[in-house]
Amino acid sequence: MAIMISLERNRVVDGVLLFDDRQVLGIGDLCRYKVIVDKSLLKEQGIDVNELFVRVKNEESPLLRPIYLTGPYACYVDVRPHHYDEDKKFDSNETIQFTSDLRPNEHFKAKLHLNENSRMENGFYSWIVDVISQVSVSALPKVEYRLRIGTTKAATKHVTETSELKGFKVEKLDTQSLWNLPPKYPEKPVHLVILTHGIFSNIGCDMLYMKDKIEQKCFAMDEKINPNVVLRGCMENVGKSARGVRYLGTRVGQYVIAEIEKLNESYKVDKISFIGHSLGGLVQAMAIHYIAVKRPDLFDPNTGVKPINFIAFASPFLGVVGDFPRYVSLALDVGALGITGRDLTLRHTPIISRNGLGGSRGPSRLHKLILEALPQKPALEVLQRLIHRTVYANVLHDGIVPLRTAALLYLDWNSLSKVHQIRKQKSLAMKKNPTDADLVLKPPVSHPSSSSDDTHSIAYPVDATTVFNESSEIAESEEDELVEDGEGYRPESNKKSGSSSELEQSEEPNVVDNSQKRKTTTGEIPVESMDKKAALQWLIPQAISQGKKYSKYMRTQTVDVTSESSESDTGLNGTLHVNQEEKKFIPPPAASTVMAAISVITSPVPTQKYIKDPSLRTDAIIHDKVYHPDELPPAHYMNRPFIKKVIYPNESNNRHQERIARAWQETMTWRKVLVDLKPDSHNNICVRRRFTNLFGNVVVHNMVETHFGIQACEKYAAL
């Protein structure tokens, strides 16, 4: 009797340990815990609480904290109540709890509040707890953690034995379980969606948010139009990023073939989509090429699967040789990233076998660059049959995969410049007088996609070809205030704050005080009427620098085929008239590779207000347009005089990039969506971690709505 009383007294003082779990995570591994509580049943057993406590501890040695090259030995953890949704306002004072970097021998504490935020329709309470490995480079390191849930903080720390109580349940899903979910309607045809990761990345963790959002959207649809999606990803390339595009794509292609055959044993796969991030865009293109060569029956127009979507997020279709600093390109050339690095710098790698490569035969085939071979037959025929071909690209901050290579080189640079000018005018108007901001003109709207074939475009809103997000209009004027007031994002440290501020200031290098303009002697248009002296100060340096500064935009400006006379905005070949003062062409600021790498570590994290209220988010889609083959300007580097090939050192690279870009676009329409995200935009664009990279939610939301939304799925159901 004394022992029983003592145990009961300890139970009251220390609380009850309800759950205790130890796991070891490798690269690409995670565990998802769904906690479900029936408060009435707990109360019947003497447990009357309004909150539970969670403690997650990284069990690794603290000596491993500084090791990043083979690690990092850390975890990402977040806790979400049942009613939290990133796309809806979370009107509550409750904190959304997460940590981006749970390092060795550190612990993370959270509370599970039994309130309306976590209350399900059946009266139970529910939360999701994700524990995600941050190991990113090598497949060898492992991270051990321990997760405990109790009725008190003391219980999660000191109590050793777990009490099994009715009314408390934890459902645990590991990586394989989450990535092998069955279709919602087993008897209906299945739409297989293949996700592909990039360099130093993985499917299990880094593409999880995108997978969750597609499933959330599709599972809630009416059965008549429900696409019955099944999301899968090849996990066999983890830790093998340096093996080359051909190697990685071949393995993904083999995985897709095996997965289709496996699913066909229980279901019927009749549609397929491909979604890739960064290098994953090239890898999935190589996978399509491999399947088209090895198993052409899978894409047979009559009996095979129907290709639906090809979507790429910040993918280097043209390589990176023209955008990286010379020292970075040189490092890639000599093998810093293995064969993949040479592929991306457009260096020839020995192709001793044509296995998995189609197209022309003979010795010339073996000398073709792998990036040039991807959009060739027979893969080209499959790509042309796709319903949607979409690329998402960062306008700013992405020094890893810059804008030109991610957007397939050719863009309507004039429209981008006008959007930038109007955003700048709006910003200045907001600073002077908030009421004057409404007087600023909206960006010009063109409608090149309105007459496009339904088989190649989504029915966009009237002004969707050049989107100007209203919330982004005041972004540039309010960004500093958001940092101070905590409404946009907050830095993790003073160092991060400085880096973030510095990057933001670089977004608008052309916004200068009038006093500064007067002091400037070169390169600026004078404010007052231009006298002879001022004209010489401006014209002479412009004449020297303008040609080089704008030449790459002149060559790749698309032709306005909707206008009767496009010469007012473009030249005869679709080039820009940048020397006219009224045009005031402003090219996008060049992204820094070094700053992009630093921002991975020093980037800001969202504040609670940002996480809870979508209306406060200033990240925006600034350009959304369907480009047609007849908008391409004439090829610039075709049949150039031999002397120019000798004089210009980058002639060969530019010629290769132009040829690759035209091969992708001469016979196909492409939807190009350009976005403006916070620093670390390369990871943000795919929301690599749910809350750390939430700045990219606008991109994922756009992708899901336009490719897996109701309107798109109605189209798929009619196929």
Cβ-based neighbours of 471, under 8 Å, separated by 6 or more: 615, 616, 617, 618, 620
Give, for 419, the enclosing helix (H) or strand (E). helix 413-432
DSSP-derived secondary structure letter, 266: T
- At 294, which helix (H) or strand (E)? helix 279-294
In this predicted structure, what is the pLDDT of residue 471? 36
Taking the C-alpha atoms of residue 312 and residue 375, their distance in angstroms, rounded to an integer, is 14
Are 400 and 596 contacting, i.e. CB atoms less than 8 angstroms apart? yes
CB 16 within 8 A of CB 138: no
Distance, in Å, from the CA atom of 231 to the CA atom of 174, rounded to the nearest integer, reads 15
Within its chain, how far is the Cα of 133 from the centroid? 19
Q: How many CB atoms lie within 10 A of CB 244?
A: 23
Structure tokens at 284: 């999935």
Question: 477 an active-site residue?
Answer: no
Per-residue model confidence (pLDDT) at position 582 = 39
* Long-range pairs, 292-298, Cβ under 8 A, ≥24: 292/358, 292/378, 292/379, 292/381, 292/382, 293/356, 293/357, 293/358, 293/378, 293/379, 294/253, 294/257, 294/356, 295/257, 296/378, 298/257, 298/260
Q: Most confidently modeled of 329-333, 363-367, 631-635?
A: 631-635
DSSP states along 570-635: B-TTS-B-TTSTTT---PPPPPPHHHHHHHHHH--EE-HHHHH-GGG---EEEEEEEE-GGGPPPP
Mean pLDDT of 218-243: 93
Q: In sequence order, what are the beta bridge partners of 172?
A: 33
Q: Model confidence over 239-292: pLDDT tens digits?
A: 888 899 999 999 999 999 999 999 999 999 999 999 999 999 999 999 999 999
Q: Please report which helix (H) or strand (E) contains residue 143, including its range.
A: strand 143-150
| Dihedral pair phi/psi, residue 87, rounded to 5° | -95, 0
β-strands 489-490, 388-394 pairing: unpaired
Say what the pLDDT of residue 350 is: 59
Q: What confidence score (pLDDT) does residue 446 get?
A: 37
Contact, 195 vs 232, CB < 8 A?
yes
680 phi-psi bin (left φ>0, alpha ψ -120 to 50, beta other): left
Cα dihedral 39/45/46/49 (nearest 10) = -20
Quote the CA–CA distance of 264 and 305 in Å, as a whole number. 11
pLDDT value of position 599: 62
Measured N-to-C along each axis, helices 208-219 and 697-708 cross at an angle, to the nearest 10 degrees, of 40
Across residues 416-443, what is the average pLDDT?
Answer: 61
Stronger pLDDT, 325 or 7, i.e. the higher one? 325
Phi, psi for 468 (deg, rounded to 5): -125, 95
Condensed to tens digits (0 to 9), the pLDDT of residues 361-394 reads 444 454 578 999 999 999 999 999 999 999 999 9
Asked if 299 contacts 307 with a C-beta cutoff of 8 angstroms, the reply is yes
Question: Looking at 465-474, 528-537, 696-705, which range is the least confident one?
Answer: 465-474
The 10 Å Cβ neighbour count of residue 39 is 18
Average pLDDT, the chain: 79
- Cross-strand bridge partners of residue 81: 127
- Choice between 328 and 485, residue whose per-residue pLDDT is larger: 328
Q: What is the CA radius of gyration of the chain?
A: 27
What pLDDT score does 649 carry?
A: 72
pLDDT in tens, 171-221: 999 999 999 999 999 999 999 999 999 988 899 999 999 999 999 999 999
Of the pLDDT bands very low, low, confident and very high (cuts 50, 70, 90), residue 6 is: very low
If we measure between CA atoms, which residue out of 539, 504, 498, 503 comes closest to residue 521?
539
Q: How far is 678 from 43, CA to CA, in rounded Å? A: 47
Write out pLDDT tens, residues 455-491.
333 333 333 333 333 333 333 333 333 333 434 444 4
Q: Are 150 and 15 in contact (CB under 8 A)?
A: yes
Residues 6+ apart with CB under 8 A from 639: none
Q: Cite the DSSP H helix spans in 451-559.
A: 470-473, 475-485, 494-505, 514-519, 532-556
Tell me the pTM: 0.81
Q: Is pLDDT of 336 > 60?
A: yes
* Residue 533 φ then ψ, to 5°: -65, -45
User: What is the predicted pLDDT for the residue at 569?
Assistant: 42
pLDDT of 714:
95
> Quick one: pLDDT band at residue 80, thresholds 50, 70, 90?
very high
* pLDDT greater than 90 at residue 614: yes
Of 358, 404, 366, which Cα lies nearest the Cα of 658? 404
Q: What is the mean pLDDT of residues 82-91?
A: 95
Task: Using the Cα atoms of residue 360, residue 364, residue 368 and residue 370 in order, give the sign of their dihedral.
Answer: positive
In the set 126, 136, 273, 278, the catalytic residue is: 278
Dihedral sign from CA coordinates of 570, 590, 603, 137: positive
Quick: pLDDT tens for 634-683. Answer: 998 887 777 776 777 778 888 899 999 999 999 999 999 999 998 889 99
Predicted local distance difference test score (pLDDT) of residue 68? 66
At residue 648, the pLDDT reads 76
Which of 546-555, 558-567, 627-636, 661-670 bottoms out in mean pLDDT, i.e. has the lowest?
Answer: 558-567
According to the model, what pLDDT value does residue 493 have? 40
pLDDT at 36 over 60: yes
- Pairwise pLDDT comparison (64 vs 544), residue with the higher score: 64
Q: Which domains does the chain have, with CATH numbers?
A: 2-177 (2.60.120.380), 179-349+361-386 (3.40.50)
